[in-house]
Amino acid sequence: MSALARAYLSLGSNVGDRRSYLEYALQELAGHGVHVVSCSQIYETEPWPEQRAPREHWYLNRAIEVETELPPYRLLTLIQEIEHHAGRTRPVLSPGQYAERTLDIDILFYEDRVVSDDRLQIPHPLLHLRRFVLAPLAEIAAEFEHPTLYQTIREILAESEDHRGIFPYSL
Catalytic residues: 88, 101, 104, 106
Sign of the torsion angle spanned by Cα atoms 148, 150, 154, 155: negative
Give the Cα separation of 68 and 110 in Å (integer): 10
Tell me which residue of 113, 117, 119, 120 sits closest to 146, measured CA to CA: 113
To the nearest 10°, the Cα dihedral for 147, 152, 158, 159? -30
Tell me which residue of 145, 133, 129 sits closest to 107, measured CA to CA: 133
